[in-house]
Amino acid sequence: MSTRDDLVLAAARLLDQGGPAAVTLRAVGQQVGLSHNAPYKHFADKEDLLAAVASRELRRPGPAIRPGDDPAAALKARAKAYVRWALRYPARFKLVFGAWTTASAELDEAASRSRGEFVDAVRAAQAVGGVPAGDPERVTALILALAHGAADLALGGHLSRAGKGHADPDDLVDDLFALMATAKDQG
């Protein structure tokens, strides 16, 4: 493990434990036994370090595809895994999709690769008629937008009135897939 990796890991740990406010360059340096400005030898600035944390997060392995699995069910499982990740690691989720003032090639590429895997899963589901036909990129965008929005609203408690109306993010994923199934049956 390089010092660079140590710094990224320490930043991720601090983020999980204390939220974004806990991720200071001084705390990161201390976690790896270095001074508070050692990170500047590996990253341009703090945002560059955070971009590396976000990239690492996007490169996490997706759910394994077992041969024989129904591609439509696998796609739905992928959407639910996305929601589960967001709810379990809110700080990482907010970081990845937060407001970046500087473009990071590493982050852009990781995000593109991650969505590419999702597009492949959509294509496979379309091949067996599990989801509506049409531009796979657009169907992917539809599913991702719903999963993303459901997770983000749930994190803020904005999904449904407390007690009133049962609407977990998981339920909404089910609802969307049910709508897509009837649309596919009809067309």
Partner DNA sequence: ACCTGAACACCGTTCAAGT
Contact residues for DNA (CB under 7 A)? 3, 23-27, 29, 33-38, 40-42, 45-47
* Residues near 185 by beta carbon (within 8 Å), at least 6 away in sequence: none
**Helix count (H) and strand count (E) of the chain?**
8, 0
Per CB under 8 A, the list member of 45, 47, 109, 171 interacting with a second copy is 171
- Which 94-123 residues touch a second copy, going by CB under 8 A? 94, 97-101, 108, 111-112, 115-116
Per CB under 8 A, the list member of 34, 65, 167, 170 interacting with a second copy is 167
Round to whole Å and give the CA distance between 170 and 122: 18
* Residues near 28 by beta carbon (within 8 Å), at least 6 away in sequence: 7, 10, 11, 14, 39, 49
Shortest separation between residue 3's beta carbon and a second copy, angstroms: 29
Round to whole Å and give the CA distance between 149 and 6: 32
- Quick check: 186 binds a second copy (CB under 8 A)? yes
Shortest separation between residue 79's beta carbon and a second copy, angstroms: 11
Q: Of 130, 25, 121, which Cα lies nearest the Cα of 72? A: 130
**CA-to-CA separations, 102 to 80, 96, 106, in angstroms, rounded:** 30, 13, 12
**CA-to-CA separations, 55 to 9, 24, 45, in angstroms, rounded:** 12, 19, 16
- Which 127-166 residues touch a second copy, going by CB under 8 A? 132, 135-138, 140-142, 144-150, 152-153, 155-161, 164-166
Say how many residues make up the chain.
187
Q: In the complex with a second copy, which residue's Cβ is closer, 15 or 28?
A: 15
- Residues 131, 74 contacting (CB under 8 angstroms): no
- Quick check: 183 binds a second copy (CB under 8 A)? yes
164 binds, among a second copy, DNA, none (CB under 5 to 8 A by kind): a second copy
Q: In the complex with a second copy, which residue's Cβ is closer, 74 or 167?
A: 167
Size of site (CB under 8 A) for a second copy: 56
Residues in the site for a second copy, rule: CB under 8 A?
19-20, 90-91, 94, 97-101, 108, 111-112, 115-116, 132, 135-138, 140-142, 144-150, 152-153, 155-161, 164-167, 169, 171-172, 175-176, 178-180, 182-183, 185-187
